[in-house]
């Protein structure tokens, strides 16, 4: 940490303000809608985004949502999502951003923990809020994000349904004063002040509120500029709402395709290809499952994406096969970049596809997945596996190369605490007396090789400590995934004769039946004995359809599989 604790000069909106001055008429946001067989696009340039977010900031503050208050923001990727988010940042209002795909029960818990003062959302979100009682103990101000072109009677009905004032009505109420008001004054914060709460998806555990500061956002912007080489004037196909916000901050246009951002796997590839071609996107952000879907569609129709020079994948490890298939659509100089990180620290490391492909044989032999080298400004260490809290960091905790342990990261983009989750903070954060900042325990296991590259071996919670040896999820599973009948596998822990035993659940390739399970199991046992990583694994079960996380469709709910497997074996 630096000595700027009492300097109020931080706000992400400074980048938008700069872009609105330097490149006012350049495209900032475009939102695609597929209506009656044709594509329609709503657009804003940087000057318009700056002006509209100023107006909304005035309207919200005059309505009573003031600096320092917390507001839920549940708006689908749209023009309003961008204008509202930047308005909240400008006004110093703390947006609470959740993933709708986490489930209704988790959403209610998140709002209860965050204790928001306001709720800004679309009509559907407000209806759910009223029906399920989200945040009813703390929320006092409600804003419904409606369309200003709707008939007054329809807008009135929406207001009655949601119990909220319509955003269009707020803007109309304060519009007579627009000409007399100066540009909205940015609410400057200290670099480490809380400026947003982002809840983790819950795909690897209970959702937790990650406290974001402007220092974190600034560090992420620096990484995108310096490590990913994103430049002003580029255009990005934005399939993930949070990443799309970095577009305007980078002077890059965010092109939002017509898709359900909470369920990317359901996206229509035709819509995404059309958006890329319409705006000649140079950057594409897609998780591995979406990359796979686009790659398969591209291969089937011989699709080419000549404008794309960079594809960024995050959320889960992307396979070599998916990269190779997707790359068929790209020019030879285009890069596919696999990013490793988490909501608490993103990015941590990155690895380009050409290098990743060279590690595939090691991955298939149980070495884990190589996630590259740390990005600029991030320090990564490996510590011994323990469930104990670690209060204070010392360099003696770090393990040497080629020893598997828990991944610990430090740097400007590492968050310092969870919101109102003291136990989670104590378990995941380690105070570094040298930097006076927290290091973050990723909850992932991995190691450094002799060349300084980081390898990932799966979640700490997913290891299996048997009486014989310790097994790691990703190294084991990647070996079994090489069998031609296996679509994917999952290492779980079960008890057999009261002894913790590794068992591997198998999901078959879709074209195969499980009529010869005993033959498959025998072949998998033989395969397991070829590698030290998997030797000793003799128990397998075929599962018809793995439970997966909604957003990434790549994170397997091993906890559910473990319960299922235990019941199956009695």
Asked if residue 370 belongs to a domain, the reply is no
What are the tens digits of pLDDT across the range 152-162? 666 677 777 78
The strand ranges marked E within 470-563 are 470-471, 486-496, 499-508, 539-542
pLDDT digits (tens, 9 = 90+) for 1-33: 455 568 999 999 999 999 999 999 999 999 999
Q: Is the pTM of this model over 0.85?
A: yes
106 lies in some domain: yes
**How many structural domains are present in the chain?**
2
| pLDDT score for 230 | 96
Residue 156 and residue 150: Cα distance in Å, rounded? 10
Cis amide prior to 347 (ω within 30 degrees): yes
Instruction: Name the CA dihedral angle for 460, 464, 469, 470, rounded to a multiple of 10 degrees.
Output: -20
Asked, for residue 292, whether it belongs to a domain, the answer is no
Residue that terminates a domain, selected from 163, 186, 213: 213
Return the pLDDT at 512.
65
For 82, other C-beta atoms within 10 Å of its C-beta total 27
Residue 382 lies in a domain: no
Q: Could you tell me if 90 and 54 are in contact, meaning their C-beta atoms sit under 8 angstroms apart?
A: yes
Exposure string for 250-265, b = 16+ CB within 10 A, e = fewer: bbbbbbbbbbebbebb
Q: What confidence score (pLDDT) does residue 1 get?
A: 46
Give the pLDDT confidence of 225-263 residue by residue, as tens digits: 999 999 999 999 999 888 888 998 899 999 999 999 888
Length of the chain: 570
CATH number of the domain where residue 182 is located: 3.40.50.980
Q: Is residue 452 part of a domain?
A: no
Residue 513 resides in a domain: yes
Give exposure, 523-557, as e/b (b: 16+ Cβ within 10 Å).
Answer: bbeebbeebebbeebebbbbbeebebbbbbbbbbb
Which of 188, 213, 238 is where one domain is finished? 213
Q: What is the 3-state secondary structure (H, E, C) of 40-60?
A: EEEEEEHHHHHHHHHHHHHHH
DSSP string, 288-332: HHHHHHHHHHHHHHT---TT--EEEE-SSPPPHHHHHHHHTTS-T
In which domain, by residue range, is 123 found?
46-213
Q: Residues of the chain whose pLDDT is less than 50? A: 1
Is 73 inside a domain boundary? Answer: yes
Closest C-alpha among 57, 46, 81, 9 to residue 185: 57
Is residue 480 included in any domain, yes or no?
yes
- pLDDT score at 149: 61
495: CATH? 3.30.300.30
According to DSSP, the residues that pair with 189 across neighbouring strands are 10
Task: Provide the pairing of β-strand 405-411 with 437-448.
Answer: antiparallel
Choosing from 189, 213, 237, the residue where a domain stops is 213
């Amino acid at each position: 940490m630096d000595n700027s604790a009492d300097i109020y000069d931080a706000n992400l909106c400074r980048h938008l303000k700069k872009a609105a001055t330097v490149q006012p008429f350049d495209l900032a946001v475009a939102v695609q809608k597929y209506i009656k067989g044709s594509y329609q696009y709503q657009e804003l340039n940087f000057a318009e985004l700056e002006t509209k977010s100023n107006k909304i900031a005035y309207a919200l503050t005059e309505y009573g949502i003031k600096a320092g208050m917390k507001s839920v923001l549940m708006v689908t990727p749209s023009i309003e999502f961008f204008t509202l988010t930047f308005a909240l940042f400008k006004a110093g209002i703390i947006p609470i951003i959740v993933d709708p795909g986490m489930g209704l029960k988790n959403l209610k818990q998140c709002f209860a923990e965050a204790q928001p003062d306001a709720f800004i959302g679309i009509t559907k979100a407000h209806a759910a809020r009223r029906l399920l009682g989200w945040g009813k103990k703390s929320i006092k101000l409600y804003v419904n994000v409606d369309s200003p072109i709707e008939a007054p009677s329809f807008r009135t009905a929406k207001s009655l349904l949601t119990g909220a004032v319509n955003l269009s009505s707020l803007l109309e109420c304060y519009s007579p004063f627009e000409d007399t008001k100066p540009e909205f004054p940015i609410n400057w914060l200290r670099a480490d002040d809380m400026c947003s709460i982002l809840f983790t998806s819950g795909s690897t555990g209970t959702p937790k509120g990650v406290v974001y500061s402007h220092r974190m956002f600034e560090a992420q912007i620096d990484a995108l500029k310096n490590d990913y080489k994103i430049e002003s004037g580029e255009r990005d196909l934005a399939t993930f709402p949070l990443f799309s916000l970095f577009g305007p901050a980078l002077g890059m246009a965010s092109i939002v395709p017509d898709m359900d951002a909470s369920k990317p796997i359901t996206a229509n590839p035709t819509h995404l290809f059309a958006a890329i071609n319409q705006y000649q996107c140079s950057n594409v952000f897609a998780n591995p499952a979406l990359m796979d879907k686009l790659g398969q569609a591209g291969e089937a129709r011989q699709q080419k994406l000549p404008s794309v020079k960079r594809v960024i994948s995050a959320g889960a490890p992307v396979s070599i096969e998916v990269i190779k298939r997707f790359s068929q659509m790209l020019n030879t100089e285009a890069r596919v970049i696999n990013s490793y990180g988490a909501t608490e620290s993103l990015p941590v490391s990155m690895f380009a596809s050409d290098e990743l492909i060279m590690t595939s044989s090691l991955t298939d032999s149980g070495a884990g997945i190589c996630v590259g080298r740390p990005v600029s400004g991030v320090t990564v260490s490996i510590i011994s596996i323990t469930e104990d809290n670690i209060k204070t960091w010392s360099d003696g905790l770090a393990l040497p190369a080629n020893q598997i342990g828990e991944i610990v990261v430090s740097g400007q983009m590492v968050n310092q605490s969870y919101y109102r989750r003291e136990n989670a903070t104590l378990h995941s954060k380690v105070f570094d007396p040298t930097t006076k900042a927290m290091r973050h325990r990723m909850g992932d296991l991995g190691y450094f090789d002799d060349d300084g590259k980081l390898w990932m071996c799966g979640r700490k919670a997913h290891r299996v400590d048997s009486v014989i040896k310790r097994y790691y999820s990703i190294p084991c599973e990647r070996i079994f995934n090489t069998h031609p009948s296996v679509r994917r596998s999952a290492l779980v822990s079960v008890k057999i004769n009261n002894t913790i035993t590794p068992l591997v659940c198998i999901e078959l390739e879709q074209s195969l039946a499980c009529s010869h399970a005993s033959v498959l199991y025998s072949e998998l046992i033989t395969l397991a004995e070829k590698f030290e990583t998997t030797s000793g694994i003799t128990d397998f079960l075929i599962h018809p359809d793995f439970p997966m996380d909604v957003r990434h469709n790549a994170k397997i709910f091993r906890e559910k599989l473990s319960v299922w497997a235990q019941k199956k074996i009695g």
